[in-house]
Structure 1
């Protein structure tokens, strides 16, 4: 059976995002989930998150000893040091050499940090390593959320310092809860049914819930953008489940790497540990993309860009959007946001946003930010009785970015027949004058509320 690549490409770029009037609710849900997964995969590769994961892995390895030292120092203060060490060794039970190596480095770091000039140097190195890792993670998440700006320096210092201390304290609290759960389960061991449920919950369910909460916090607070908590729950659950599966593979899959261990010996622990960190960041960034798509799926409901739309159709859509804005303004009604304009005109929101940007460039529309919220609405720039279809087309077609003949060194006046050039110009003027007799707000018959 021959595979039709063009049909598959059409389905993924257009067919998957077409509106279906008579589909069932279950089918709609399935299609939406397929859209999210497709877009997450697409953006994961387009935004080069593989390179970001490699950078994050390097930063993690550079910062892991200072971070672990800080966590163990706080844990020892709370009396949870030995328990935390036990948990750490269990997590890396497949690579005991890596666990021992990291613990020795951590203990050495703590011992030297208390003596001599290393106090100051060690503190600086630790702060730099932690801040650098957080900065790299934020940059990767900002790439996911398409954030252009950066945090102010004051917020960087406050937010990063808070993260640096809250994360270890959270780990200590979770360790304390784990001790409590272990003692609680031991008391239920003599009960067959309850003991089995409690043991299963402690072994699988509790770690999954804890990891899910950690991913939710990471996805909500790390990007320099407003992220809705409800949009991160599903991806966080997937990320935590994938991490637990990865850990199981990492622990129990060593049987397939016996020849690798035989060749490299104890040195095999390091590359395998680095690979584990790299795959962990792949999982984290992919599910971060899912969170982004969860919150912004409507923006990508149409995979066609404005460059793929012919000039005539684009002008028709521009006139429709401008007519909608002017009509609401003339009636004294509340101005609409881009999503509300999209709902009223049935123009995909990606195209609507681009049209609004073009109309603002030619000073036909202005955006207004609400003082009580971040909602952006759009209104005409001047009296709607003077805005016509011809005026809109004239402005859009004569915008600076639309006229690049001078940059190309091309001059039609120099090479065209002089009479024909003048005739074409006069026909265009007559065409625009005819369109200027049509008021833009009278273009559409009604506006959906």
Structure 2
């Protein structure tokens, strides 16, 4: 059976995003999930997350000792130090050398923290390592969420410092809850049914719930964008399941690496540990992409850019959007956002945003920012009675402005003079005829 590549490409770029009549809710839901998964995989590679994961892994290696030292210092103060060390060794039970190595470095770091030298250089190195890791994570998340404006310096200092102290405290609180759950389960061991459920919950459900909560917090607060909590729950659940599976593979898959351990000995712990960190960041960023498309799927309704639309059709689309905006303004109706205009004109949002940008660049429409929300609405820049189809086409076709003389070229000199004048005259007549058509008279929509 011959595979039709073009049909598959059409389905993934256009067909899958087209609305069909008389579709069942189950089919629509399935198609929507397929759209999210396809876009997540596509943009995971398009946005080059491989480079981000490598950078994040390096930053993690640099910051893991200072972070672990801070966590153990706070844990020892609350009396959870030994329990936390036990949990840490269980998590790295497949690589006890790596666990011992990290714990020794952490203890050494805490010992030197009591000396005067730590107050100066040591403190600066710790702060730089932690801040660098947080900054790298934020950059990766902002890249996913298409954020162009970074946090101000004051917000960076306040937010990063708060995060640096809240994370260890949260881990300590979770450790305390884990101790409570362990003692509670031990009391239920005598009961066959309840004991089995409690043991299963402590072994699988509790770690999964804690990881899910941590991912939700990470996905909501780390990007410098407005992220809805409801859109992060499902990706966070998927990420936590993937992380637990990765941990199980990391722990139980060591039997297949006996030859690798035999060759490299105790040194094998370091590259395997780094590989585990790298895979963890891949999971984290993939599910962050899923959060983005879970919230912004309508912006990728059709994977077509305006460059793929012929010039004549693009002018028709621009005229439709401008006519809609002018018509609402002339009727004293409330200006609309890009999504609202898209819902009434049925133009894909990616094309819509580019059309609005072009109309704004030629000063036919203006953006209006709401002081109470992040919404941006659009209104005409001048009297709608004076905006015509011909004026719109003349402005759009003359941008971007470029002087042919810079290339040493002049169409008046290069062309036959009679033909040049004839073409110019025909174009002037063409634009004059179109300037007799008012843009707001093209279409008319009633108020919603």
Distance 1:358 1:405 in 2: 22
The residue aligned with 2:410 is 411
The residue aligned with 1:57 is 57
Distance 1:409 1:97 in 2: 71
Residues 327, 444 of structure 2: 8 Å contact kept: no
- 1:31 matches 2:27: no
Question: How far apart are residue 408 of structure 1 and its match?
Answer: 4.5
What CA deviation, in whole Å up to 9, does each residue of 1:305-360 have, x standing for no partner? 00000000000000000000000001101001000000010001111111111111
Distance 2:206 2:331 in 1: 57
Please state whether the residue corresponding to 1:446 is helix, strand or coil. coil
The residue aligned with 1:430 is 429
The residue aligned with 1:86 is 86
Question: How far apart are residue 407 of structure 1 and its match?
Answer: 5.1
The residue aligned with 1:292 is 292
Question: How far apart are residue 109 of structure 1 and its match?
Answer: 0.6
Question: How far apart are residue 119 of structure 1 and its match?
Answer: 3.1
Question: How far apart are residue 4 of structure 1 and its match?
Answer: 2.0
- 1:4 matches 2:4: yes
The residue aligned with 2:441 is 442
Please state whether the residue corresponding to 1:332 is helix, strand or coil. coil
Distance 2:175 2:405 in 1: 68
Distance 1:447 1:266 in 2: 74
The residue aligned with 1:131 is 131
Residues 321 and 129 of structure 1: CA distance in aligned 2, closer, same or farther (over 3 Å): same
Residues 338, 349 of structure 1: 8 Å contact kept: yes
Distance 1:366 1:372 in 2: 19
The residue aligned with 1:242 is 242
Question: How far apart are residue 371 of structure 1 and its match?
Answer: 1.7
TM-score by length of 2: 0.98
Of the structure 1 ranges 309-318 and 108-117, higher mean CA displacement relative to structure 2 is found in: 108-117
Distance 2:129 2:284 in 1: 20
The residue aligned with 1:358 is 358
Question: How far apart are residue 447 of structure 1 and its match?
Answer: 4.0
TM-score by length of 1: 0.98
Please state whether the residue corresponding to 1:117 is helix, strand or coil. helix
What CA deviation, in whole Å up to 9, does each residue of 1:42-69 have, x standing for no partner? 1110110011000000000011001100
Please state whether the residue corresponding to 1:27 is helix, strand or coil. helix
Distance 2:78 2:424 in 1: 83
Q: How does 1:4-403 map to 2 (within 5 A)?
A: 4-400=4-400, 403=402
Please state whether the residue corresponding to 2:19 is helix, strand or coil. coil
Distance 2:236 2:408 in 1: 55
How many residue pairs end up in the alignment?
A: 448
Residues 250, 276 of structure 1: 8 Å contact kept: yes
Question: How far apart are residue 411 of structure 1 and its match?
Answer: 2.4
Question: How far apart are residue 207 of structure 1 and its match?
Answer: 0.5
Unpaired segments ≥5 residues, structure 1: none
Residues 302, 348 of structure 2: 8 Å contact kept: yes
Distance 1:62 1:406 in 2: 56
Distance 1:405 1:21 in 2: 50
Distance 1:10 1:341 in 2: 26
Distance 2:354 2:180 in 1: 56
Residues 223 and 406 of structure 1: CA distance in aligned 2, closer, same or farther (over 3 Å): farther
Distance 2:429 2:93 in 1: 81
Distance 2:279 2:319 in 1: 49
Distance 2:406 2:237 in 1: 53
Residues 268 and 39 of structure 1: CA distance in aligned 2, closer, same or farther (over 3 Å): same
Residues 324, 447 of structure 1: 8 Å contact kept: no
What CA deviation, in whole Å up to 9, does each residue of 1:84-104 have, x standing for no partner? 000000000000000000000
Distance 1:344 1:404 in 2: 39
Residues 369, 377 of structure 1: 8 Å contact kept: yes
Please state whether the residue corresponding to 2:336 is helix, strand or coil. coil
Residues 318, 355 of structure 2: 8 Å contact kept: yes
